[in-house]
Amino acid sequence: MASHANLPLYEKIWFKRTTQRIMDTFILLLLLRLLTYRVLSINSFTLTTWLLAFLCESWFTFTWIVILNTKWTPAFTITHLDRLLQQVPELPPVDLFVTTANPVLEPPVIVVNTVLSLLALDYPANKLACYVSDDGCSPLTYYALVEASKFAKHWVPFCNKYNIQVRAPFRYFPDVSTANSTTEDSLEFKQDWLRMKDMYDNLSKKIEQVNQKPNTFQTDREFAVFSNVEQRNHPSIIKVILENKDGLSDGLPQLIYISREKRPEYPHNYKAGAMNMLTRVSGVMTNAPFMLNVDCDMFVNNPKIVLHAMCILMDSKSGKEVAFAQCYQQFYDGVKDDPFGNQWVAAFEYIIQGMGGLQGPFYIGTNTFHRRNAIHGFSPDEIETGKKGKLAEETLTKQFGSSKAFVKAVVHAMEGVSAYTPNDVSPSNLVEEAIQVANFDYEYGTSWGKQMGWLYGSIAEDIPTGINIHRKGWRSECCVPNPIAFTGCAPGDFVSTMIQQKRWASGLTVVFFGKLNPILVTLFGKIQFRQGLSYFWATNMGLRGMFHVCYVSLSAYCLITNTNLLPKGLGEWFPVALFVIYNIYTLFEYLTIGLSIRHWWNNQRMLTIRSTTAWFVGFLSGVLKVLGISDIVFEVTRKEHSSCSGDGDDVGRFSFDESPVFVAGTTILLVHLSALFIKFLGLEAGHSANGCGMGEVYCSTYLVVCYWPFLKGLFVRGKYGIPFSTICKSLVLASVFVHFSRSVISTPPA
Ligand SMILES: O=c1ccn([C@@H]2O[C@H](COP(=O)(O)OP(=O)(O)O[C@H]3O[C@H](CO)[C@@H](O)[C@H](O)[C@H]3O)[C@@H](O)[C@H]2O)c(=O)[nH]1
Ligand SMILES: [Mn+2]
């Protein structure tokens, strides 16, 4: 037994994918070949065409190098639970954060299931406190949580007794096979199972009923605080729903509901604001050295996950520099073969795992275990020195705000995990202190959201928050236990997917052009070179969209004007080879990890669609925000009970709305259709000797094939059709493009 004493709690295994390296290099050589062609053929193009093509192709080549850099030295981690329990007899407390913002898009029954799965974690209950932040300030969400806490008194013991794996009831019960236990006490189990199912059905019915008749609340004293509140104008509301006063390890974790103060004239910084508030409120109440953050739809799929994460964060050697352990995101009931390209299976496998071998994965906003000290903005060295020489209280107040209780918590946290002592005052007696730190004016003049915590200014708060942590010298690790730690809800349709993509692109564009630009932080911070390159890739999503649109327009322009972009004749082989090899290779990548050909094609098609629409539009709105011309709001994605619950046959069908994203898409489609039309009818404007060849025709055809769902959308009315106004706008834009191209070519150079 004692032999475990000094063994590491987790191991990191690096591995090599040789085929991948060979193929990557080969594709890189072809890209370089295209670039050389471009450089050598400068005289056969007009200057603008040449310059644009050159810029785009250099950008694509550079992007390819950056991707290689991210993918080439992947690593995964193995955690040793048995060693943890022997080396760390006293497990550290963990605060659990759940954020919700909109009771309509995020139905309370989903939030409740996430919370139930957290309350039922396989970890000493007296070490867990679950904090729910409700930016929707919805009495319904609160009511659902209160009812769920009653159910939890039965649900948690049931899960523990039978060692249930999926502890979110709405995922557990529909799977009827769970009712058949193989153990001896199966009769008892069956009875318990039925009893629990009954209670859960009751719970969801209650929530549903109240959902339909919201005025039921007005009579109840407990809900009095919610009367007359507006979502964007109300004082802080904090309700302690469950308390574990006796500190029982087999009792229930504490459960606290919070809706922070909001005033219409003040920004509340969306999710980042909510997370910072949660950090403070939990600091005042329980101040656990580690915090888990999940979105309201990400329920626990592996009840031992906290133990796995603790193996990483509590490891006495390498664990010390780890600021956060990031678990993968996986989605339940995802539409088959990922038609909207939003399940990210391949991305996690290749990109996030690749970063696992560098300074560590990005912080992706959810399913993350954070070290409180890192969120408080300290670097690993500062923790060491802070422990020795005391930091002046004045400085701390300036940084963290005027709450004495919270500043005390910060100092206490710095003393380290082993010095942790639980708060002897129970949360319900600390509500007043907590309200103070949840109020909107608390952060004025402090460092919250600027130097520490979740960063403000970008609606994609996760990546910059991670950059800010990494640049202080911290590392991060992937935590990938089997079964997977959390599963959640991918956007169920095309419109929400595009909303999400646009939000990411605009948010990241703001980061790219800001203080946390990856090049700057690599030069001036402690971000390792290759990590910096990966961040460069992550934050330039919008810019990639811009270059993509530029290239796509260029190829249409060439068709319309009968000029060429790609080499002709014998030289045609290498763009074709590039295209074919790239596709075979990505297909191979998908097949290797067990995905289907259909899945691959859907993702390829969506890559083209989203980068030329949502990323491009996101880029434009990000630039407007950087220039101070307009602001961006966080649009929450709709979460559904089951993404397949939709309209039967229509699952996976593309829906559209009036968003500018679809104007961009429709315009591109119309432009390419006209270009092909012009080419085949021989209506090109110019008749230069250097006319366009087959390369441009292939490009346009490929694009139209990718855009097939849009083409269908042109001829359908209703939800699955492109709105008439969008078609009109796109027609105008497309005509302007065609007309402009033709007029350029017919005007002889001065
Ligand atoms: O004002 C707000 C807006 C959002 N949220 C919460 O933020 C979370 C993420 O929002 P969601 O609409 O689900 O966005 P996704 O695109 O699905 O989320 C991804 O992208 C976000 C950044 O754009 C990250 O914050 C998320 O963690 C990450 O999962 C949800 O729990 C929301 O309730 C708030 O708490 N307050
Ligand atoms: Mn989400």
Question: Residue by residue, what is the 3-state secondary structure of 705-720?
Answer: HHCHHHHHHHCCCCCC
Question: Ligand 2 centre and the CA of 110: distance in Å?
Answer: 12
Helix/strand/coil (H, E, C) string of 565-613? CCCCHHHHHHHHHHHHHHHHHHHHHHHHCCCCHHHHHHHHHHHHHHHHC
> Tokens in use for 159?
């899960």
Q: Confirm or reject: Cβ of 462 under 6 Å from ligand 1.
A: yes
The string of pLDDT tens digits covering residues 437-469 is 999 999 999 999 999 999 999 999 999 999 999
- Protein residue with its CA nearest to atom 26 in ligand 1: 365
Known catalytic residue: 462?
Answer: yes
The CA 744 to ligand 2 mean position distance, Å, reads 46
Ligand 1 near 505 CB (within 6 A) = no
> If you measure from the C-alpha of residue 376 to the centroid of ligand 1, how many angstroms do you get, rounded to a whole number?
21
Which residue has tokens 């309209």?
Answer: 647
pLDDT at 268 over 50: yes
Task: For residue 253, say if its preceding peptide bond is cis, omega within 30 degrees of 0.
Answer: no
User: H-helix or E-strand containing 51?
Assistant: helix 47-71
Residue 714 covered by a domain: yes
The answer to whether residues 44 and 173 belong to one domain is no
Residue 701 lies in a domain: yes
The residue whose CA is least distant from atom 4 of ligand 1 is: 271
181 has pLDDT over 70: no
Residue of 261, 366, 463, 498 to test ligand 1 pocket, by largest number of atoms within 8 Å of CB:
366
**Strands 322-327 and 368-371, how do they pair?**
antiparallel
User: If you take atom 30 of ligand 1, which residue's CA is the nearest one?
Assistant: 295
Q: What span, in angstroms and rounded, lies between the C-alpha atoms of 361 and 531?
A: 9
Q: Is 712 annotated as a binding residue?
A: no
Atom 19, ligand 1: residue with shortest CA distance: 365
How far is ligand 1, taken at its centre, from the CA of residue 280, in Å?
19
Q: Of 441, 457, 490, which residue is a domain's last?
A: 490
- What residues form DSSP beta bridges with 255? 130, 242
Range of the domain at 679: 17-72+513-631+654-746
Q: Which protein residue has the closest C-alpha to ligand 1 atom 13?
A: 637
Confidence of residue 2 (pLDDT cuts 50, 70, 90): very low
The Cβ of residue 75 has, within 10 Å, a number of other Cβ atoms equal to 18
The ligand minimizing its distance to the Cα of 106 is 1
Candidates 24, 315, 338, 462; catalytic one: 462
**Which residue among 96, 98, 99, 298 is best mutated to probe the pocket of ligand 1, counting the most ligand atoms within 8 A of its Cβ?**
99
Q: What does the pLDDT average to over 355-382? A: 96
Does 561 fall in a domain?
yes
| Of 490, 522, 548, the domain-final residue | 490
Instruction: With H, G, I as helix, E, B as strand and everything else as coil, classify residue 189.
Output: helix
Query: How large is the average pLDDT for residues 633-662?
Result: 81
Confidence of residue 645 (pLDDT cuts 50, 70, 90): very low
- Distance (Å) from CA 271 to ligand 1 centroid: 6
Binding site membership of 101 for ligand 1 (Cβ less than 6 Å): yes
268 & 373 share domain: yes
Q: Same structural domain for residues 726 and 579?
A: yes
Share of the chain above pLDDT 90, in %: 79
- ∠545-549-551 over CA atoms, to 5°? 120
Which ligand does the CA of 465 lie closest to? Answer: 1
Q: Are 582 and 653 in contact (CB under 8 A)?
A: no
Are residues 48 and 94 both part of a single domain? no
pLDDT tens by residue, 602-619: 999 999 999 999 999 999
Residue 471 and residue 562 share a domain: no
Nearest C-alpha to atom 23 of ligand 1 is from which residue? 460
* Same structural domain, 600 and 727: yes
Output the CA–CA distances (angstroms, integers) from residue 377 to 360, 368, 554, 583, 744, in the order listed.
18, 17, 46, 44, 55
Radius of gyration of the chain (CA): 28
Q: Are residues 109 and 85 in the same domain?
A: yes
Is residue 71 part of an annotated ligand binding site? no
Q: Give, using CA atoms, the residue closest to atom 16 of ligand 1.
A: 500
276 & 369 share domain: yes
Whether 419 has a pLDDT exceeding 80, the answer reads: yes
Regarding the beta carbon of 500 and ligand 1, being less than 6 Å apart is answered yes
Please report the atom of ligand 1 found closest to the CA of residue 366. Answer: 27
Interval between CA 480 and ligand 2 midpoint (Å): 20
Most informative mutation of 97, 344, 636, 643 for ligand 1 (most atoms within 8 A of CB): 636
Atom of ligand 1 nearest to the CA of 273: 36
Residue 428 sits in the same domain as residue 534? no
- The answer, yes or no, to whether any atom of ligand 1 lies below 6 A from the CB of 365, is yes
- Does residue 460 line the site of ligand 1, with CB under 6 A? yes
- Please state the rounded mean pLDDT for residues 721-737: 98
Residue 501 belongs to a domain: no
Q: What is the pLDDT of residue 128?
A: 97
How many domains are there within the chain?
2
Ligand closest to the CA atom of residue 635: 1
Ligand 1 binding pocket includes 95 (Cβ within 6 Å): no
How far is Cα 455 from Cα 278, in angstroms, rounded to an integer? 14
Ligand 1 atom at minimum distance from 297 CA: 31
Rounded average pLDDT over 583-608 = 96
Position 5 scores a pLDDT of 67
Last residue of a domain, one of 490, 505, 523: 490
> Could you give the CA distance from residue 585 to residue 23 in angstroms, rounded to a whole number?
7
Cα 329 to ligand 1 centre (Å): 13
**Which pair of tokens denotes residue 68?**
């290689």
In a domain, 351, yes or no: no
Q: Region 108-113: what's the mean pLDDT?
A: 97
The answer to whether position 462 is within a domain reads: yes
Between CA 331 and CA 497 the distance in angstroms is: 14
- 134 touches ligand 1 (CB under 6 Å): no
pLDDT digits (tens, 9 = 90+) for 434-445: 999 999 999 999
SS3 state of residue 680: helix
Select from 240, 213, 241, 218 the least CA-distant residue to 228: 218
H/E stretch holding 669 reads helix 660-680
| Residue 339: per-residue pLDDT | 94
Active site residue: 24, 95, 134, 135, which one? Answer: 135
d(CA 143, CA 108): 9
User: Do 51 and 139 reside in the same domain of the chain?
Assistant: no
Residue-wise pLDDT for 528-541, tens only, equals: 999 999 999 999 99
pLDDT at 750 over 60: no
To the question of whether residue 24 is assigned a binding role by annotation, the answer is: no
Q: Are 173 and 200 in contact (CB under 8 A)?
A: yes
Q: Is residue 544 domain-shared with residue 566, that is, in the same domain? A: yes
11 in a labelled binding site: no
Mean pLDDT, all residues of the chain: 92
Ligand 2 centre distance from Cα of residue 636 (Å): 8
Do 605 and 562 sit in the same domain of this protein? Answer: yes
Q: Does 350 map to a domain? A: no
The pLDDT assigned to 89 comes to 84
Q: Is 499 in the pocket of ligand 1 (CB under 6 A)?
A: no
Q: Whose CA is nearest to atom 36 of ligand 1?
A: 271
317: in domain: yes
Q: Which two tokens stand for residue 747?
A: 């005007």
Q: Which residue has the higher pLDDT, 741 or 222?
A: 741
- Find the mean pLDDT for residues 191-200: 96
Do 518 and 672 form a contact (C-beta atoms < 8 A)? no
- Encoding tokens for residue 1? 């037994």
Whether 262 lines ligand 1, by a CB cut-off of 6 Å, is no
pLDDT at 46: 84
pLDDT of 246 > 80? The answer is: yes
pLDDT band at 4 (very low <50, low <70, confident <90, very high): low
